[in-house]
Amino acid sequence: MTRKRLTTSAGAPISNNQKSLTAGKKGPVLLQDYQLIEKLAHQNRERIPERVVHAKGWGAKGTFTVTHDITKYTRAKLFSEVGKQTPLITRFSTVAGELGAADTERDVRGFSVKFYTEEGNWDMVGNNTPVFFIRDGYKFPDFIRTQKRHPKTNLRSPEAMWDFWSQTPEALHQVTILMSDRGIPKTPMHMNGYGSHTFSFWNNDNERFWVKFHFKTQQGHAFYTNEETAHVIGQSREKYQEELYGAIEDGNFPTWKLYVQVMPEKDAEKTPYNPFDVTKVWPHNDYPLIEVGVMELNENPENYFQYIENAAYSPSNVVPGIGFSPDKMLQARIFSYADAHRYRLGTHYEALPANTPKSEVNHYHKDGSMRFFENGNSNPDAYYEPNSFNGPEEDPSVAEPPMEVDGDIRRYEDNDEVGNYQQAGDLFRLFNEDQKKRLFFNIAEAMQGVSEEIVERQLVHFDGADPAYAVGVRAARKALNEDSEEVVA
Ligand code: NDP
């Protein structure tokens, strides 16, 4: 095979890619060696800012296939008929670790799916947990600060984590999941994904429903214990990449079944829990899972950076038939995610290959970094709106039905009848004895070195969920302390 000719980035052929241009055999190097300068300058620019959260990630391309008809709830075209297939790309991630962090650390996992639908991209930007630590985006920067490095020690700080959680009782539900077996899935293939927030569906009759999304792993749940993961990380910091990439290369395509929980719009006024509170689930008995389809991952992208690092998921990417809800945390994310991408990738980040919709894109946003696209509007005179030159125009048929809201504008102290503890307690009571034991020890280990005052404040929350929860954590702490005293003796 004839090899291609090496060129500069401007396409000019390169005669020698081994030696700098020098004045004499011993140097010096000439400033006019623009090929050398281009090479060094490009290397300096190979990194972009890593995500502040969810920096470490793994992903693949795949397909979604509809298996059940949900058109009575939504007009979204991707669900329009059984058998319909939509291409997609996913990104899984840990939340706190930096780009080089070990894959199998205890953390919540991001679970993001970009569906390239015929009416634009729908991004399901979820986690492997159905709830979150806080219910109001106002607290998000503080919460994340406690998960990151201490400004002086530059180390992660269990003191900060438990200080925050112990003063944020709504975190208990998510803390319980994080410290349970599901806190370290064996691979991204062995975990569920959840939209977590409440979203909305609307159908062709303009009826609105509230909806929650659940992706159930078909590989089964599998997890590492703290002890196992210490060993795994000692062997490889890139376990998830190896496993996910390897499975797809071997043709073992992982699948997830997509289910929805659907709540009629008016029910939101009568549930004892606030259905828009992301620290709560909707119990399956109240709103059973409705099967929708299957997601299969079947292709490793040719270039990790281009398709996984540059993929920009945002809950603001919805399509007709899928909308938002009054969930306060969701609304903060609708702003924050798209804003993060504009900062991290550049103004026209949606024009990057991972993000380009497969449907037609017609907008009047103009110039800026990465303006790759042509005028595209058939007529160069149509560069503003409204215009008389046949430019793209709005389509009122895709308008969402109006959403009623009432109430005074203020900063509310909010909670509901269910409170912060009940659902965490429900989960705790689902665990068998071994699962409970591991939960107690995981918490006791995570609390090592934390001030007694903070620990005692947190134990009040465990006790509120279930007295046996607090008793178990106390006993595990005692056992760990005795063990370490024995080691010292
Ligand atoms: P169900 O008995 O119907 O469902 C229990 C759920 O718990 C299942 O979805 C199961 O997931 C999930 N689960 C099992 N182990 C863990 C774990 N370590 N971490 C997180 N989830 C786990 O109960 P309810 O719907 O009445 O809910 C009871 C509690 O279950 C809730 O308070 C909540 O903590 C938890 N839960 C509820 C979900 C919901 O949407 N209703 C979703 C996930 C958790 P799987 O079937 O995949 O094994």
C-alpha 327 to ligand 1 mean position (Å): 21
Using most ligand atoms within 8 A of CB, pick from 107, 427, 442 the residue to mutate for ligand 1.
Answer: 427
Compute the distance between CA of residue 64 and CA of residue 480 in angstroms, rounded to an integer: 47
What atom of ligand 1 comes closest to residue 129's alpha carbon?
Answer: 20
* Nearest protein Cα to ligand 1, atom 43: 130
* Nearest protein Cα to ligand 1, atom 12: 427
C-alpha 287 to ligand 1 mean position (Å): 13
* Nearest protein Cα to ligand 1, atom 13: 427
Using most ligand atoms within 8 A of CB, pick from 132, 285, 430, 442 the residue to mutate for ligand 1.
Answer: 430
Instruction: Tell me the average pLDDT across 117-126.
Output: 98
Instruction: Tell me the average pLDDT across 326-336.
Output: 97
* Nearest protein Cα to ligand 1, atom 42: 130
* Nearest protein Cα to ligand 1, atom 26: 283
Using most ligand atoms within 8 A of CB, pick from 127, 284, 291 the residue to mutate for ligand 1.
Answer: 284
- Sign of the Cα torsion 38, 40, 45, 47 reads positive
pLDDT per residue as tens digits for the range 342-365: 999 999 999 999 999 999 999 999
What atom of ligand 1 comes closest to residue 181's alpha carbon?
Answer: 18
Residues flanking ligand 1, CB < 6 Å: 130, 177, 180-182, 192, 216, 281-285, 423, 426-427, 430
What's the pLDDT at 375?
A: 74
Instruction: Tell me the average pLDDT across 69-75.
Output: 98
Q: Are the CB atoms for 91 and 104 separated by under 8 Å?
A: no
Using most ligand atoms within 8 A of CB, pick from 256, 281, 423, 429 the residue to mutate for ligand 1.
Answer: 281
Q: Could you tell me the two tokens for 326?
A: 């009054």
pLDDT at 376 over 90: no
What atom of ligand 1 comes closest to residue 425's alpha carbon?
Answer: 32
C-alpha 198 to ligand 1 mean position (Å): 16
% of the chain with per-residue pLDDT over 90:
92
C-alpha 137 to ligand 1 mean position (Å): 24
C-alpha 251 to ligand 1 mean position (Å): 31
pLDDT at 488 over 60: no
What atom of ligand 1 comes closest to residue 280's alpha carbon?
Answer: 32
pTM of the predicted protein model: 0.96
pLDDT at 414 over 80: no
pLDDT at 139 over 90: yes
Active-site residue list? 54, 127
pLDDT at 74 over 90: yes
* Nearest protein Cα to ligand 1, atom 34: 427
C-alpha 212 to ligand 1 mean position (Å): 14
* Nearest protein Cα to ligand 1, atom 20: 177
Instruction: Tell me the average pLDDT across 230-245.
Output: 98
pLDDT at 291 over 60: yes
What's the pLDDT at 377?
A: 63
pLDDT at 15 over 80: yes
Instruction: Tell me the average pLDDT across 170-177.
Output: 98
C-alpha 279 to ligand 1 mean position (Å): 13
Are β-strands 85-94 and 109-117 bridged in parallel, bridged antiparallel, or unpaired?
A: antiparallel
What's the pLDDT at 487?
A: 61
* Nearest protein Cα to ligand 1, atom 47: 216
Q: Could you tell me the two tokens for 131?
A: 């709830």
C-alpha 466 to ligand 1 mean position (Å): 17
Instruction: Tell me the average pLDDT across 123-131.
Output: 98
